[in-house]
Amino acid sequence: MIVYGLSNSQSLARKISRKANASVGRVITKSFPDGELYLRFLEKPIGKVVLVQSMHPNPNSALIELVFAAKEAKELGAGKVVGVVPYLCYMRQDKSFRPWECVSSHHMASLLNNSLDELITIDPHLHRIHDLKEIFTIQAKAITANSLLADYIAKHFKKEIIIGPDIESYQWAERIASRLKLQAIVLRKKRYAARKVRIKIKSSVELKGKNVLIVDDIISSGHTMLETVKEAKRLGAKSITCVAVHGILAEGALSKLEKEGAKVVTTNTIENPTSKIDVSDLIAGSLK
């Protein structure tokens, strides 16, 4: 088995290969002057080839890089091509919200169905799509980082209450709370636009003087977390920590959250300064 790290996941790929006792392959990518992708394997990809590529930053070029690398590996003689995609993009556009709108998750899946033999991903955003089988024809495995999040919380925080900011977050908030035997409150969110959400915590919820952990799968623009943080502050929380699997942290989300006094912790499915929780063991385990 050879593990290759594509542009977004090179250090994670090295960790995975160490833990899976596999060799690390080398692949170079760059842009031609017109923006097209150049990609070259520095040794022939043979046997089981694992391509590690998270879909953030630059989801569109990350996706095309993975597709080209997978197809090329096949052409060069790889026996099996496994895509390890720690953060899978486009999963939130899972229906036509307005007439003739593109259901991007289906098209993303079709590109991967046509290029990979197998997909391994972590906590994909499963909402209206309940199972990856609904969009993937290849073997597609979703693993959860919930146990890692719970262990990290247990070790590092004086925890008193877990909040899930919207109904979809129960898969993380409620499950982690039940592992830690903590109280969980899952809120209702109204999203008006990509950067506009409204969240209200009922004043009857007792947060005064408590350490609050807001748990979700993704922090993207950060507005879901920001609105929840403001509400928790309004109700007198003593400390607030936002914990998520995928830290996209677009458009200055991290500094906006820190300005509100919140701490942020995420996994390294997307590598950034908040990624304190390492998922390489989880992935290596599922490759073995």
Active-site positions read 189
Between 25 and 222, whose beta carbon lies closer to ligand R5P?
A: 222
Report the DSSP beta bridge partners of residue 38: 30
Interface mask toward ligand R5P for 184-223; x: CB under 6 A:
-------------x------------------xxxxxxxx
Q: How far is the CB of 99 from ligand R5P (least distance, A)?
A: 22
Q: Give the E-state strand segments of the chain in sequence order.
A: 2-5, 23-25, 27-31, 37-41, 47-52, 78-85, 118-122, 139-143, 161-164, 183-186, 189-193, 196-199, 211-219, 239-247, 263-267, 275-277
Between 224 and 280, whose beta carbon lies closer to ligand R5P?
A: 224
| Cβ neighbourhood burial of 30 (10 Å; 0-12, 13-18, 19+) | exposed
The span of 41-49, 109-117, 160-168, 231-239 binding ligand R5P (CB under 6 A) equals 160-168
Between 217 and 231, whose beta carbon lies closer to ligand R5P?
A: 217
Binders of ligand R5P among residues 13 to 42 (CB under 6 A) are: none
Q: How far is the CB of 250 from ligand R5P (least distance, A)?
A: 7
DSSP 201-219: --TTS--TT-EEEEEEEEE
Instruction: Please give the Cα distance from 38 to 10 (Å, whole number).
Output: 17
Q: How far is the CB of 177 from ligand R5P (least distance, A)?
A: 16
The span of 77-85, 96-104, 166-174, 268-276 binding ligand R5P (CB under 6 A) equals 166-174
Between 5 and 247, whose beta carbon lies closer to ligand R5P?
A: 247
Query: C-alpha distances in angstroms, 7 versus 31, 105, 160, 284?
Result: 12, 22, 39, 19
Instruction: Rule CB under 6 A: say whether 121 interacts with ligand R5P.
Output: no
Report the DSSP beta bridge partners of residue 239: 211
Between 7 and 220, whose beta carbon lies closer to ligand R5P?
A: 220
Binders of ligand R5P among residues 80 to 119 (CB under 6 A) are: 92
Report the DSSP beta bridge partners of residue 161: 183, 212
Listed residue (156, 154, 205) closest to 182, CA to CA: 154
Q: Which of 168, 228, 241, 282 binds ligand R5P (CB under 6 A)?
A: 168
Where do contacts with ligand R5P occur on this chain (CB under 6 A)?
Answer: 92, 165-166, 168-169, 197, 216-224
